């Protein structure tokens, strides 16, 4: 069977979480690294939204990162990301929805405040931090968002917490959320994260196939 094609961009948190799930599921895809300022025509013809990540498998095109995660894990889920130890998958998806909705909005307006004339950087940071405080409380009992092992929510949310933290790491590290810091630091040091953050060259038509993972 021909490999699925994943159009990706190394630093994009949406693409990071898609690659994490593909790697966790043991899928093998053809990875095509896209440069956002110089998007390949083949990518633009494939992705309805012209955003990464975008996965093409036969006649199916998936250009939402969470849907790509679910696609990969529906094929194979050896680490049981779709079976949270506590709570339900629906609750995990609701938590991801809060990350992708209100938190991501505040994050963008904090990180890229000059793009939003009505954004107050400190106010946006404070609003985003409310979500992180809630995560810190969830992490305290078992070390992960849904118990003592990782689930879909952890790996769908961690790339965005990393993006928030790196906007002002000194400020982030000075906050009273020790469980959150430990969770993020362990993620950044993990083999699973390092393996999806290799540097791939920009893909162009005719290049040799790069299989991932």
| pLDDT band, residue 30 (cuts 50/70/90) | very high
pLDDT level of residue 52 (50, 70, 90 thresholds) = very high
Amino acid 2: pLDDT: 66
The total of structural domains in the chain comes to 2
Q: What is the pLDDT of residue 1?
A: 45
Tokens 């917490």, located at residue? 161
Q: Does 165 map to a domain?
A: yes
Torsion angle of alpha carbons 70, 76, 78, 83, nearest 10°? 40
Residues 173 and 202 in one domain: no
Look up the CATH number of the domain holding residue 60: 3.40.30.10
Under 8 Å between Cβ of 107 and 163: yes
The pLDDT score that the predictor gives to residue 123 is 97
Q: Which residue has the higher pLDDT, 152 or 3?
A: 152
- What's the mean per-residue pLDDT of the chain? 96
Beta bridge partners of 98: none
Same domain, 29 and 67: yes
Same domain, 18 and 58: yes
Range 141-152 average pLDDT:
97
146 located within any domain: yes
CB 158 within 8 A of CB 166: no
pTM (predicted TM-score): 0.96
Q: Do both 111 and 158 map to the same domain?
A: yes
106 occurs within a structural domain:
yes
Percent of the chain with pLDDT over 70: 99
pLDDT for residue 133: 98
Residue 46 sits in which domain range? 4-79+194-212
Establish if 41 belongs to a structural domain.
yes
Evaluate whether residue 84 is within a structural domain.
Answer: no
Q: What is the DSSP secondary-structure string of 158-202? A: HHHHHHHHHHSHHHHHTSS-HHHHHHHHHHHHSHHHHHT----PP
Residues 95, 181: one domain? yes
Residue 159, in any domain of the structure: yes
pLDDT in tens, 74-114: 999 999 999 999 999 999 999 999 999 999 999 999 999 99
Q: Are residues 207 and 151 in the same domain?
A: no
């Amino acid at each position: 069977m021909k490999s699925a094609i994943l159009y990706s961009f190394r630093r994009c948190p949406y693409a990071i979480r898609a690659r994490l799930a593909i790697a966790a599921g043991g899928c093998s895809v053809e990875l095509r690294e896209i440069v956002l300022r110089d998007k390949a025509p083949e990518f633009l013809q494939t992705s309805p939204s012209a955003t990464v990540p975008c996965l093409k498998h036969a006649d199916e095109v998936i250009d939402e990162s969470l849907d790509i995660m679910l696609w990969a894990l529906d094929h194979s889920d050896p680490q049981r990301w779709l079976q949270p130890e506590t709570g339900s998958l629906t609750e995990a998806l609701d938590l991801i929805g809060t990350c992708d909705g209100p938190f991501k909005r505040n994050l963008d307006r904090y990180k890229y405040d000059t793009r939003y004339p009505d954004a107050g950087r400190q106010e946006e940071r404070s609003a985003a931090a409310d979500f992180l405080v809630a995560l810190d409380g969830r992490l305290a009992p078992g070390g992960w968002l849904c118990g003592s092992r990782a689930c879909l929510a952890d790996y769908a949310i961690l790339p965005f917490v990393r993006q928030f933290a790196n906007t002002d790491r000194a400020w982030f590290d000075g906050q009273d959320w020790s469980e959150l810091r430990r969770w993020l630091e362990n993620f950044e040091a993990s083999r699973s994260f390092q393996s999806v953050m290799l540097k791939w060259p920009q893909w162009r038509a005719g290049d040799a196939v790069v299989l991932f993972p």
